[in-house]
Each structure stands twice: as structure tokens, then as C-alpha cells.
Amino acid sequence: MSKKTSTTSNQAKTSVFNDEQKQLDSRKQALLTESSKGSDLSVTSERVGADFSCKDPSSMSSSYEDGGLYCYEGLKNCHRGKISIIGMGMVGSSYAYSLIQSGLARELVIVDANKDRARGEYLDLSHALSFVPPISIKEGDIKDTSDSQLIVISAGVSQSGPNESRLQLVLRNVAILDKIIPDLVKYAPHANILIATNPVDILVSYTEKIIRTKNLKFMGSVLGSGTVLDSARFQFLLSKHFRINVANVHGMIIGEHGDSELPVWSLANISGMPLKEFALHNGISFNDEIKKEIFTNTRFAAKQIISTKGATYYAIGLSLLKITEAILKDSNTILNVSGTSIPYFGIDPEVSIGYPSVVGGNGIKSRIKLKLSEEEQHGFRESAKVLKNIIDSL
């Protein structure tokens, strides 16, 4: 090969090298631009509440109304991302199983009166740590729940069979609250206490009553899983009837998590289209008989499951996870949780009942004013009366 040819070849190589270098530089530049877009995204996340960093509450305006979200004052006094579960039976353990996979919590404390049960659940969950986002799991007792951001109560007895109503559990489960609430409030005075134990609405009212009558120093919030699960069941049954993805079906159950609950037919829709209209457009039958069947299957779904496998737990576990996400991410998600002080329809303020509520870092932030039909308003009031009679008897 002549020297000239070699030089030309080297020049060609250099030129190829320069081209590659240029391409590399421009790819690097593109990546940098991309990653700076990423940081823009994280700014957006922070705005919508996904960022866990807490601002100084004194520098915050009133948040929700002016569109900017905030970390509530109590969070300063909590271990952020610390969740405790009291009661590691079927519901508590199903929730724990989905929680550790979600990456939402940093610390999980599990407590059960049955120490063997707690030990078994602790070991089983811990053996999954290689496969899930980082989280520390601890088996403990009530004092280990100190400064939790969220305490989920799933301790207690469940319906012994399909013929026992949720309301019949009341005395047995109220006794558990008498025992655990004063200590929980003492060790975690800023926590959000989320109740799943039945009868859930009564137990939320009763927890508030314990705090009030015993004059306990509590700066957190109390709420219940309410009709979040019932609404999910309702949406599933509607989605099956209309053969539409459940994500596009909007329907809710309000009232007691129990026999007096009711569907809000007047507002149910598929992608904004009233159900009747959707049915008409798509040649799907939809009449009073079908509505009755869908609601009956919603209301008695738990009985159906209990009569087959003895208890319900997966869907309630995920309902609790959804509420957890709203609280930990301060996301202002509308959920049909149970809480007291519903400002509408003449509901007694002591009655805790399932109703669409804006849920964020400090539990229930506000209630949505629904345009219910006369019949629905009546049904909702009647459901509240059922609960009020029991609360008054405790």
C-alpha cells in the first residue's frame, strides 16, 4: 500500500471517527435534554403531590382550593412512609402483601394479638423482600407503631357465616377498639387511622367517640374503607353487563358498608354517557330488573364469597391500598371512604358513612356535593339513620 493511499485511508478513518464522535456528542446532548425533561416532570410530580418532601407548613397557602397541594402539618411529626397494621388475619395480610409490592411504604409494622399468626406473617412477607421495592418490615406490638403516618385497623372478628350481618359484629369489635385506640393515639398522635374492621362505619364513629370522651390528644385523622370496595364491585358488575373495561365505568355505592347501602344510578355513566343512553346506542338491554340484579349482586357480594371460601380479602386489601396511596401521596383522590361530618342531606355529624370524599395527606379533606335524586337522598338519609341508632346505643 502506498504512503498516499495509507494517508487517505487514515484521513478517511479520522473523518469516520469524527463523524461517530459528533453522533455520540449529539446523542449525549439529546440524553441530557431528555433527562432535564425528566427533572421537569419531577417538578410536575411535586405539584401533584407525588413528591414526599415536606415543605414548611407556615409557608403554605391553603392548598387544595388554590390548586397547589401541600404536606399537612402532622407529617412533620410522623415517620414518613411508616405504616402499621393492627390485625394480620386475612384482610390485614392481603393488604400487607399488596403494600410491600407497591413501593408506597418505607417501613411496615405488623401487630396481631395472636403472636404465632404475627410471626408467620412476618416471616412469609420478609421472605419476599428480594422481589419487592425496599421496605423494612417489623413484627411488633402497639408501641412499635410510634409516629406512624398511617395505621390500618383490620383486627377483629369477621362474619361467622353468610347469615350474620356486619352490624351483628359490633359489640365484639367495639371492645377491641376500647383496648387499642388509647395506646395507638398515645404512640402515634399524628397518624391517619384507617379502619377496615366491620361494621366499619360504626367503628369510625366509635373511634372518634373514644378520642372525644377520653379527651385524648390526637392531631391525626380517622376514616374507614366505607363503600370503596362496594363501588368497585358495582363497577365490575356494570362493566360485565355493558362489556366495557371497568376503568371506563363510573358508578358508586354510598351509605353504610352493609345492607342499607344504595347505588347512585342517577350519576352512573360510561365515559360520561348515562347508562340508559349507552345501552340504547349499543343495543344492550338495561331495565329495572337488570338494575335490581346488578345491585343485589353488589350488596350481597360478601355473603356470596363468605358462603364459598369463608372470607373476603383480596379486593378489600387493594381498596385499602388505594386509600393508602391517596394519603401517602397526598393526591386528592376522590374515594367513597367513611367519615363523620357529612355536610349534606341533613346527615347527623356523628354518623360516619360512605360518601365521595377528597382524600389526601391528612385523610378526608373535603366532601363532593352530589346532585342526588330525591329517591337517592331519601335512601342515603335512611342508611344514616340505621347507623345513628346503633351509634347512640353504644
Ligand X SMILES: NC(=O)c1ccc[n+]([C@@H]2O[C@H](COP(=O)([O-])OP(=O)(O)OC[C@H]3O[C@@H](n4cnc5c(N)ncnc54)[C@H](O)[C@@H]3O)[C@@H](O)[C@H]2O)c1
| Beta carbon of residue 200, minimum distance to ligand X (angstroms, whole number) | 4
Q: Which of 155, 174, 222, 390 binds ligand X (CB under 6 A)?
A: 155
| Beta carbon of residue 153, minimum distance to ligand X (angstroms, whole number) | 9
Residue 154 interacts with ligand X (CB under 6 A): yes or no:
yes
Residue 177 interacts with ligand X (CB under 6 A): yes or no:
no
Residue 257 interacts with ligand X (CB under 6 A): yes or no:
yes
| Beta carbon of residue 376, minimum distance to ligand X (angstroms, whole number) | 21
Give the binding-site size for ligand X (rule: CB under 6 A). Answer: 34
Which C-beta is closer to ligand X: that of 85 or that of 294?
85
Q: Catalytic residue at 378?
A: no
By beta carbon distance, the residue nearest ligand X is 89
Give the separation between CA 51 and CA 70, rounded to whole angstroms. 10
The site map against ligand X for 89-128 (x = CB under 6 A) is: xxxx------------------xxxx--x-----------
Q: Which of 63, 312, 352, 383 binds ligand X (CB under 6 A)?
A: 312
Which C-beta is closer to ligand X: that of 126 or that of 248?
126
Which C-beta is closer to ligand X: that of 81 or that of 89?
89
Instruction: Give the footprint of ligand X on this chain (CB under 6 A).
Output: 86-92, 111-114, 117, 154-159, 169, 173, 176, 179-180, 196-198, 200, 225, 229, 257, 311-313, 316
**Active-site annotation, residues:** 257
